[in-house]
Structure 1
Amino acid sequence: MSLFFVQYTYAPDKSAQRDDHRTDHRAWLSDLERRGTLHSYGPFADGSGALMVAEASNLDELRSFFDQDPFARANLLEQVTIREWIPVFGAFAR
């Protein structure tokens, strides 16, 4: 399994719509956490987006998970950046 950073950049003009989908979005995140796919997640302090640390077999599998996010399905994200990460030290190092 590989670790990935997933960074969301929110579409600034869709803040109210994100509020409408936030409960479903957080339930979806909680489900991924329960399944061991998502290790950490949260919004940036300035409200511009969010960062998640996720685990998957490969990039395609991870993208298929994140395509199901209620924010993504409602087209509320300006950009999604996914990068594989190889931690050497710290809590995520293996």
Structure 2
Amino acid sequence: MTTYAVTYVYTDDSAARDTHRPAHRAFLGGLYAAGILLASGPVSDDDMQGALLILKGDSAEAVSSILDADPFHQQQLVAARAVTEWTVVYGPWAD
């Protein structure tokens, strides 16, 4: 399987993210337990709030399809999502 780096840019609705965060984290926990999600966590700067997720998948389309079930996505709390193939050269996920 190929490794993908996924970035989320969240909407400004932090109250809704707080409400749906437990379901979002449970969803990601299931992907982690299944060996699909390798790592994830929030990222932010002065202009945006979002997340970085590292997943294994057969294609970018397959990864996108999996992430369509994320409660944050379903509640329209993800304003933008990018799925990029990532060739890991060094580290625990290198082939």
**What's the TM-score bracket when you normalise by the shorter of the two chains?**
over 0.9
Question: For the residues of structure 2 that align with 1:49 and 1:39, how far apart are their CA atoms?
Answer: 17
Question: For the residues of structure 1 that align with 2:67 and 2:83, how far apart are their CA atoms?
Answer: 10
Closer, same or farther in 2 for the Cα pair 1:45/1:79, shift >3 Å? Answer: closer
Find the counterpart in structure 1 of residue 15 from structure 2.
16
Tell me by how many angstroms 1:45 deviates.
4.8
Find the counterpart in structure 2 of residue 48 from structure 1.
49
Q: Secondary structure at the match of 2:72?
A: helix
Find the counterpart in structure 2 of residue 27 from structure 1.
26
Tell me by how many angstroms 1:58 deviates.
1.1
TM-score, structure 2 length as denominator?
A: 0.92
TM-score, structure 1 length as denominator?
A: 0.93
Q: Which one-letter code corresponds to 1:31 in the other structure?
A: G
Q: Which one-letter code corresponds to 2:54 in the other structure?
A: V
> What is the total number of aligned residue pairs between the two structures?
93
Tell me by how many angstroms 1:89 deviates.
1.4
Structure 2: give runs of 5+ residues left out of the alignment: none
Tell me by how many angstroms 1:20 deviates.
0.7
Q: Which runs of 4+ in 1 moved over 6 A?
A: none
Structure 1: give runs of 5+ residues left out of the alignment: none
Q: How much identity, in percent, do the aligned residues show?
A: 37
Q: Secondary structure at the match of 1:83?
A: strand
Tell me by how many angstroms 1:15 deviates.
0.7
Q: Superposition RMSD on alpha carbons, in Å?
A: 1.2
Question: For the residues of structure 2 that align with 1:77 and 1:57, how far apart are their CA atoms?
Answer: 23
